[in-house]
Structure 1
Amino acid sequence: MKRTRISRIGLGLLLGLNSACLLAAEGPAVPQPGQSKDDFINQLMGQMTQQEKIGQLRLVSVGPDHPKPVLLDEIAAGTTGAIFNTVVRPGIRDLQDAAMKSRLKIPLFFAYDVVHGHRTVFPIGLGLAASWDMGAVATSARIAAEEASADGLNLTYSPTVDIARDPRWGRVSEGFGEDTYLVSRIAETVVKSYQGKGLDQPGTIMAGVKHFALYGAGEGGRDYNTVDMSLPRMFQDSLPPYRAAIDAGAGAVMVSLNSVNGVPSTANKWLLQDVLRQQWGYKGVLLSDHGAVMELIKHGVAGEPREAARLAIAAGVEMNMNDDLYGKELPELLKAGAIQQSDIDRACRDVLAAKWDMGLFKDPYRYLQGADPVDTDAESRLHRAEARDVARKGMVLLKNQGDVLPLKRNSTIALIGPLADSKRDVMGSWSAAGKAFQAVTVLEGMGHATRGKGALLYAKGANVTNDEEIIKYLNEYNQDVVIDKRSPQAMIDEAVAKAKMADVVVAVVGEAQGMAHEASSKANLRISASQLDLLKALKATGKPLVLVLMNGRPLDLRWESENADAMLETWFSGTEGGNAIADVLFGDYNPAGKLAMTFPRSVGQIPIYYNHLNTGRPFDHEHPNKYTSRYFDSQNGPLYPFGYGLSYTSFSVSDVKLSSAKMHKGDTLTARVTVKNTGKRAGETVVQLYLRDLVASISRPVKELKGFRKVMLQPGESKVVEFPIREQDLRFYDGSLRYASEPGDFKVMIGLDSDDVKEGQFTLL
């Protein structure tokens, strides 16, 4: 028999190849030096069973539906892709250890609702937006990422960039307001601050922008409700903030729970594939919202669970949150030919790509470096100075009649109200891993500010509500609202007695945080009857009345605006809220916040927002006429317009000057004004640029925000503020979804809010 001679080198190569094949079949999913992401994922998917691929699409929470012992076995079997709602390092380490026992050792990623801070809680989204300060927004997101990643988290379900123009919706608290331009700027800032220069770098987390799409436009302001919207309006007003987040590099997108023009987003192939993937070029992972795939049955587009799973995976929903529908139904759907192998492979590939981008294949414990903290809630982990500074920047001074504010430290102050000493409420909804015991209340903050200088008298005065059904609703899952058992009159009597002893009354009123949350839509935007009764009693004392508002939405404040001497909108301002509020009340910080949502006069005006269309019969406030678009039984227009906010000083804005009266396509012209501090204190203000296309192929808004500048001025100081205006700023989506500018006349408006502006005009040739 003829023998073939094999060299030692050749034998070594063969043995090496066989070993590599063996490692590939059973070894860990570890990239080789120099291996590209695509090559690694191709190789890994070639080793995966169908069960393992489908397992990667499973996003579950440890809890009653998935007990930890059972989940640990499932993870070790390679049938789980990611975990949410586990937020401490030991628990995350245990689960990742189980993944490292699986056949291919594919790491898990860990997600959580880090919405406006993590261990350190910053102001709610509406409060961050009211700062109009991208530096402050970036600080809050960067610190949230650092704290969350230090806990082992890899992904946040944030930012919420839904355009919200109906304050009845509870989740307006979570987002950034009504304006497309402002929300888009914030979306970009938050994503870049979370993700830094790369998710494989320390202190970063992946952004999961939500809720795609149009979640904030539900009919009647009811959560989860239907959305029916024309395509031009959709592309012009509601979609740009999502696009801004995608363009900024958001690694994940959460699909919304609502239907869009009759098709639930979770089954909406046009929305998820045609728009998001093809038009926008999105390459990241798509996550369902909680239980959304199963909910396709209640939407009425699926008759049973298998059909719901088919619709979702075919539309492009890659990870199914919470239930086990994909694991149960996808194998049979594939066997029956109802879905394609490519549907599963595409989804699995994107999940693996996200894990690659997080750096988890190189080191599954990358986010768990070092020893676990002895105390997860240690004070040393908080960023109090930054939280205090950011909180102050988002507060909006709504009224200050007779310069009641700032308060004098050496005076006697009666601090009254159900929210004055509430640690839970000052943090607000979606306060992540923040702990109420670490939050500073208004009572504590004002106590710090007045210690040894004046007298601070406190009384609760009222419960946040006396409606037993509302209290039951708010406390259904957690005992968040604590009710004082005294009679309402006894509480008011105590508060009035304290007020009569004081030089000034500060009443902290508004909403419990649970009133401005998911599933907390409201038909009534007034402050509760219990609190209003208290305010009327305080007003009757004749003492100056200062209202500190805590709320997560625009409220109907007609009585309050007419009767209070001063009103400070503080939203829910976070861990350092009480200290930040005291800083503003006592003048250590001059408020400069501006509203990111219009405040209506009544719920009957809703929706009310600044950039509406004009109609053929617009209402003229200066020359009212019967046959115009108006309410005959109410004063028309907002109580407080978009962009509004006062200061402890005053400012003037000059007439608008344009560098040219004409613009050619490709040109840029400059609009400028001179802003002067005409008061006696140093202060900041936000100078706002609005444009209007006077004649176009479709009706255009009466004004649209296109730029803003935050300016600090000393008393008597002036500064020229310039805004470049480009042809791109004039583009819009027409009736055929063509995105372009049209020649014609444009109005330029510059001012300190959307109502009070100076005007100029130019022509696009």
Structure 2
Amino acid sequence: MTIDRRTLLAAALTGLAALPFPRRAFAAADVARVDDLIGRMTIEEKAGQMTCLTDSFRPYNPPNPQVGIQDEKRLSDEVRRGRVGCLFNGIGVAGARRAQDLAVKESRLGIPLLLAGDVIHGLKTIFPVPLAEAASFDPSLAQRTARAMAQEASAAGLHLTFAPMVDVARDQRWGRVVEGAGEDVYLGSLFAAARVRGFQGRDLRRDDSLLACPKHFAAYGAVAAGLEYGSVDISDETLRETHLPPFGSAFAAGALTTMAAFSEINGVPATADRELLTDLLRGEMKFRGFVFSDYTADEELIAHGYAEDERDAARLAVLAGVDMSMQSGLYIRHLPDLVRSGAVPMETVDVAVRRILYVKTAIGLFDNPYRSISEDAEKTRIATPAHRALSREAATRSIVLLQNSGVLPLDRGKRQKIALIGPFGEDRANLYGPWAFYGDKEKGVDIAAGLRAAMADPALLSIAKGCEIGAPMDGGIAQAVEAAKAADIILLAVGESQDMSGEAQSRTVIELPPAQQMLADAVAATGKPMIVLLRHGRALALHGSVASAQAVLATWFLGSEAGHAIADILFGRVDPSAKLPVSFPWESGQEPFFYDRKSTGRPVVDNRTEYRARYTTTDNSARYPFGHGLSYTTFALDKLKLSDKALRWDRAIEVTVRLTNNGDRRGSEVVQLYIRDRVASRTRPVRELKRMERVTLGPGESKIVRFSLSRTDLQFVGAGSRIIAEPGLFDVWVGQSSVGGLHAQFTLYAAEPNKA
């Protein structure tokens, strides 16, 4: 299926009429009910609807600072008094029912609670981390896994997930790269929409629909130096062209909530940025849902140096457009007095409450406060065999074959001794990756278990840990070397622990820990063929024997079925077909690095490097570029054709190319189309991904792949933050990554060529 989206950039900035928040989209009875409630609510009850607190009715320990946690007794009293509108990060139907009973039956107005949680890449069945899944280059896969997550989360008593993270991330030092879809705007926008559709389903009122909350609005992926919670200094053009389109895509797909970023943009923290959250988000982008603060982010305006105290922080956040305060409790403590004093207009509060109540209306909570609170669903919809099978499929589709000298695939029937070496061989603690705290780690399949299940004779597998993740082991390397010498082939399982990626896990050096590099060099010195199995949540800079291994696979954090999926790829049960959603640099110091960079006035051309845009130790290329990924078969592209050399202003041109499988195995390739605007009023990237299509072919088969390009695909943000396209010459490449490929050119005309 060709993925053909012509309006991703425009979606970020145009009206989204399909959203159900204008009054005309609701039945008269729904509007009357919301109006009646707002008319009867006290200011304390309004502030309560705008307050989201940790769920103590069904406690979990998510990776957040333990700030303001209330026990169940105290929280019960707050719910009875109408001082809470949303609870988050607890799961379980029994606790959800207790909490909802209090809200519906014992509070004065009976307004049901919204129950939320961080279901980022799985509840009990854990799927690959989002960055890994983006390597599939298949948004439909992400939609399917998000649908499965919604079925499990809603069966556990949740209405909303704080996902997907749609930040475009171009600095691999940032730990939260792992939560998104990588460095590309087009790919990220497709995955943002797919995940929203998967979470929410076709009917928001169904009990298996899970509200999506795309985050973090906006440009959180651009934090300086990849430092978590850091500042963002960015042009308006870059904000709109790079960081807003995935949000626009998510909103167009029906997302009804969003979350403000922790970071500041150009000196103003997002949580207090009215220009961002009201003028841009609600005004230009026409977003009709409601905005969460991030965890205590409104209170953190004080540490930013932007608010004087808690009261001032609450005032700034609500006036900026933050509708729901998460965990700080600032709104319930300070909004009543702020309104009474005139510092915050009641109308501002009413607008925020209306947005929240309309979301609760949209998902059917007033008609059925106990939707998604079903004992039967909890018993039948969680951790099902079908979900485990989907997790395994998603994991195999996420593994990227980075290099292979012919050692892969392994022959399952051949009696070859395999030495599984490295700290991740029998490790279950780091299978899932960050933000998977609901999963049962004992039910994850590690690499050793996956290999044994796949091998005709599991006795041929030997295991040597060799070292800890971040430190040497006494005698570890010696044991690993002996295991390597006795084996025919080495599988080296190295990389990052899951607490080296995710929130607050920025790294200055994105390399293997030294203990693991020493282990790799020692076992490689035995001369045995070595296959590297990387575990990671970001692109890594690889060195030494790891970089020169006979085969290297990016296996990320793959979730519940990690071991089976890795074995599926190693033994050729599944042909690798994934592509990198992030560029792997030669060195950590290249970061931030991304393929669609600008040329500069002195680019490196024809290997001429003197006084050129390069580093003295390496050039501006990637070790493994965005879009790269090998197969066990060989694909070739030829016969690139354009239907016309001239693209008329209101027409389209067709780009065709022939893909042939020249190998002896069936396999899949992702054909990628990139463009470059040669001369423009704003300098343009050297390449931009505009189309992709996954094609599966048997040995010797060919297929003509067709793409269509129109003027809207050539648009960019120009002067005055206007979306424009300019006549002129364009390059087009069709290839198998962001490097190389077949090349052609066309010209965009403002009118017919003979009239221009």
TM-score using structure 1 length: 0.91
SS of aligned partner of 1:754: coil
Larger Rg: 1
1:457 alignment partner AA: S
- Give the 5 Å matches for 1:292-311: 292-311=297-316
Give the aligned partner of residue 515 of structure 1. Answer: 500
- How far off its partner does 1:52 sit? 1.0
Give the aligned partner of residue 689 of structure 1. Answer: 673
Give the whole-Å Cα distance in 1 for the aligned partners of 2:537 and 2:182: 11
Give the aligned partner of residue 276 of structure 1. Answer: 281
- Give the 5 Å matches for 1:238-253: 238-253=243-258
Give the aligned partner of residue 517 of structure 2. Answer: 532
- How far off its partner does 1:654 sit? 0.9
Give the whole-Å Cα distance in 2 for the aligned partners of 1:208 and 1:185: 16
Decide whether aligned partners of structure 1 residues 375 and 402 sit closer, same or farther in structure 2, where only a CA change above 3 A counts: closer
2:362 alignment partner AA: D
Cα RMSD for the two superposed structures: 1.6
Give the aligned partner of residue 618 of structure 1. Answer: 603
Q: Is the CA contact 2:532–2:546 (under 8 Å) kept in the aligned structure 1? A: no
Give the whole-Å Cα distance in 1 for the aligned partners of 2:376 and 2:642: 60
Q: Is the CA contact 2:521–2:545 (under 8 Å) kept in the aligned structure 1? A: no
Decide whether aligned partners of structure 1 residues 608 and 379 sit closer, same or farther in structure 2, where only a CA change above 3 A counts: closer
Give the aligned partner of residue 181 of structure 1. Answer: 186
1:596 alignment partner AA: P
- How far off its partner does 1:690 sit? 0.5
Give the whole-Å Cα distance in 1 for the aligned partners of 2:444 and 2:532: 21
Give the aligned partner of residue 208 of structure 2. Answer: 203
Q: Is the CA contact 1:128–1:137 (under 8 Å) kept in the aligned structure 2? A: yes
Answering whether residue 560 of structure 2 is matched by residue 575 of structure 1, we say: yes
Give the aligned partner of residue 696 of structure 2. Answer: 712
Q: Is the CA contact 1:117–1:432 (under 8 Å) kept in the aligned structure 2? A: no
Give the aligned partner of residue 421 of structure 2. Answer: 416
Give the aligned partner of residue 329 of structure 1. Answer: 334
- How far off its partner does 1:459 sit? 1.4
- How far off its partner does 1:440 sit? 0.5
Q: Is the CA contact 2:521–2:546 (under 8 Å) kept in the aligned structure 1? A: no
Answering whether residue 732 of structure 2 is matched by residue 748 of structure 1, we say: yes
Give the aligned partner of residue 19 of structure 2. Answer: none
Give the whole-Å Cα distance in 1 for the aligned partners of 2:27 and 2:513: 63
1:87 maps to which of 73, 87, 91: 91
Give the whole-Å Cα distance in 2 for the aligned partners of 1:202 and 1:688: 38
Give the aligned partner of residue 544 of structure 1. Answer: 529
Answering whether residue 44 of structure 2 is matched by residue 51 of structure 1, we say: yes
Give the whole-Å Cα distance in 1 for the aligned partners of 2:544 and 2:425: 20
- Give the 5 Å matches for 1:66-85: 66-85=70-89
Give the aligned partner of residue 641 of structure 2. Answer: 657
- How far off its partner does 1:489 sit? 4.3
- How far off its partner does 1:326 sit? 0.7
Q: Is the CA contact 2:124–2:383 (under 8 Å) kept in the aligned structure 1? A: no
Give the aligned partner of residue 389 of structure 2. Answer: 385
Answering whether residue 98 of structure 2 is matched by residue 113 of structure 1, we say: no
SS of aligned partner of 1:656: strand
Q: Is the CA contact 1:428–1:513 (under 8 Å) kept in the aligned structure 2? A: yes
Give the aligned partner of residue 15 of structure 1. Answer: none
Answering whether residue 575 of structure 2 is matched by residue 590 of structure 1, we say: yes
SS of aligned partner of 1:355: helix
Decide whether aligned partners of structure 1 residues 751 and 420 sit closer, same or farther in structure 2, where only a CA change above 3 A counts: same
SS of aligned partner of 2:706: strand
1:594 alignment partner AA: K
1:329 alignment partner AA: H
2:610 alignment partner AA: K
Q: Is the CA contact 1:120–1:382 (under 8 Å) kept in the aligned structure 2? A: no
Q: Is the CA contact 1:266–1:317 (under 8 Å) kept in the aligned structure 2? A: yes
1:669 maps to which of 646, 649, 653: 653
- How far off its partner does 1:179 sit? 0.3
Give the whole-Å Cα distance in 2 for the aligned partners of 1:403 and 1:754: 26
Give the whole-Å Cα distance in 2 for the aligned partners of 1:390 and 1:698: 39
Give the whole-Å Cα distance in 1 for the aligned partners of 2:607 and 2:534: 34
- How far off its partner does 1:450 sit? 1.0
1:764 alignment partner AA: L
- How far off its partner does 1:240 sit? 0.6
Answering whether residue 59 of structure 2 is matched by residue 60 of structure 1, we say: no
1:713 alignment partner AA: L
Give the whole-Å Cα distance in 2 for the aligned partners of 1:562 and 1:439: 28
- Give deviations 1:31-60, integer Å, cap 9, x for gaps: xx9644322211221221221111101100
Decide whether aligned partners of structure 1 residues 418 and 382 sit closer, same or farther in structure 2, where only a CA change above 3 A counts: farther
1:97 maps to which of 64, 82, 101: 101
Answering whether residue 122 of structure 2 is matched by residue 129 of structure 1, we say: no
SS of aligned partner of 1:584: helix
- How far off its partner does 1:379 sit? 5.3
- How far off its partner does 1:288 sit? 0.3
2:103 alignment partner AA: A
- How far off its partner does 1:636 sit? 3.9
Give the whole-Å Cα distance in 2 for the aligned partners of 1:635 and 1:245: 36
SS of aligned partner of 1:383: helix
SS of aligned partner of 1:206: coil
Give the aligned partner of residue 20 of structure 1. Answer: none
Q: Is the CA contact 1:118–1:147 (under 8 Å) kept in the aligned structure 2? A: yes
- How far off its partner does 1:434 sit? 1.3
SS of aligned partner of 2:577: coil
- How far off its partner does 1:359 sit? 1.0
Give the whole-Å Cα distance in 1 for the aligned partners of 2:292 and 2:410: 48
The alignment of Structure 1 onto Structure 2 pairs a total of residues equal to: 711
- Give the 5 Å matches for 1:423-434: 423-434=428-439
Listed as ranges, the gaps of 5+ residues in structure 1 are 1-32, 467-486
Answering whether residue 751 of structure 2 is matched by residue 761 of structure 1, we say: no
1:743 alignment partner AA: P
Question: Kindly, what percent of the aligned residue pairs are identical?
Answer: 41
1:394 alignment partner AA: S
Q: Is the CA contact 1:411–1:454 (under 8 Å) kept in the aligned structure 2? A: no
Give the aligned partner of residue 732 of structure 1. Answer: 716
- Give deviations 1:517-537, integer Å, cap 9, x for gaps: 100000011101111111111
- How far off its partner does 1:403 sit? 3.3
Listed as ranges, the gaps of 5+ residues in structure 2 are 1-25, 57-67, 750-756
Give the whole-Å Cα distance in 2 for the aligned partners of 1:734 and 1:37: 42
- Give deviations 1:719-759, integer Å, cap 9, x for gaps: 11011001110111102211011111111111000002111
SS of aligned partner of 1:488: coil
- How far off its partner does 1:493 sit? 1.5
- Give the 5 Å matches for 1:314-393: 314-371=319-376, 373=378, 380=384, 383-393=387-397
1:44 alignment partner AA: L
SS of aligned partner of 1:233: helix
2:636 alignment partner AA: S
TM-score using structure 2 length: 0.92
2:679 alignment partner AA: V
Give the aligned partner of residue 287 of structure 1. Answer: 292
- How far off its partner does 1:119 sit? 1.4
SS of aligned partner of 1:708: strand
Answering whether residue 663 of structure 2 is matched by residue 679 of structure 1, we say: yes
Q: Is the CA contact 1:539–1:563 (under 8 Å) kept in the aligned structure 2? A: no
Give the whole-Å Cα distance in 2 for the aligned partners of 1:615 and 1:405: 42
SS of aligned partner of 1:366: coil
Q: Is the CA contact 2:156–2:378 (under 8 Å) kept in the aligned structure 1? A: no
Q: Is the CA contact 2:155–2:377 (under 8 Å) kept in the aligned structure 1? A: no
Give the whole-Å Cα distance in 1 for the aligned partners of 2:732 and 2:705: 14
